[in-house]
Amino acid sequence: MTSPHSTVHATIPFGLRTHFTTARIQVDLGYDTRDPYAVTAEFHTGKGAVHWVFARSLLADGLIATAGLGDLRITPAADPALVVFELSAPGGTAILEAAADDLADFLDRTYERIPPSQEHAWFDFDHEMSKLV
Please give the pLDDT value at position 120.
62
67-79 pLDDT tens trace:
998 899 999 999 9
Mean pLDDT of the chain: 88
Chain CA centroid to CA 93, Å: 17
Judge whether 9 and 30 are in contact, CB under 8 Å.
Answer: yes
CATH superfamily for 7-125 is Sporulation-specific cell division protein SsgB (2.30.31.20)
pTM of the model: 0.85
- Indicate the pLDDT class of residue 115, thresholds 50, 70 and 90: confident
Work out the angle at residue 98's Cα, subtended by the Cα atoms of residues 94 and 100, and round it to the nearest 5 degrees: 135
Q: What is the DSSP string of 74-119?
A: EEE-SSTTEEEEEEEETTEEEEEEEEHHHHHHHHHHHHHHS-TT-G
- Return d(Cα 126, Cα 133) in angstroms, integer: 11
Domain chopping of the chain, boundaries: 7-125
